[in-house]
A and B are shown apart, each in its own frame.
Chain A
Amino acid sequence: AQKITQTQPGMFVQEKEAVTLDCTYDTSDQSYGLFWYKQPSSGEMIFLIYQGSYDEQNATEGRYSLNFQKARKSANLVISASQLGDSAMYFCAMRDNTGGFKTIFGAGTRLFVKA
Chain B
Amino acid sequence: DVKVTQSSRYLVKRTGEKVFLECVQDMDHENMFWYRQDPGLGLRLIYFSYDVKMKEKGDIPEGYSVSREKKERFSLILESASTNQTSMYLCASSSLVDYGYTFGSGTRLTVV
Contacts and interface: CB of A to CB of B under 8 A. Distances in A.
A108 B103 contact: no
B47 to A, nearest CB: 11
16 contacts: A6-B42, A33-B99, A35-B99, A37-B103, A43-B88, A45-B103, A46-B103, A47-B102, A50-B99, A93-B43, A101-B48, A101-B50, A101-B96, A102-B48, A107-B40, A107-B42
B102 A43 contact: no
Query: Considering residues A6, A45, A46, which has the most beta carbons from chain B within 10 angstroms of its beta carbon?
Result: A45
Contacts, number: 58
B110 interface: no
Contacts of B33: 102-103
Interface string A1-21: 000101001000000000000
A103 B43 CA distance: 10
Interface residues of A, number: 24
A42 interface: yes
Interface in B64-112: 88, 90, 92, 94, 96, 98-106
A56 interface: no
A43 B106 CA distance: 7
Interface of A: 4, 6, 9, 33, 35, 37, 42-47, 50, 91, 93, 100-108
Interface of B: 31, 33, 35, 40-45, 48, 50, 56, 58-59, 88, 90, 92, 94, 96, 98-106
Nearest to A6: B42
Contacts of B105: 42-44
Contacts of B88: 43
A35 B58 contact: no
A100 B50 contact: yes
A33 B96 CA distance: 14
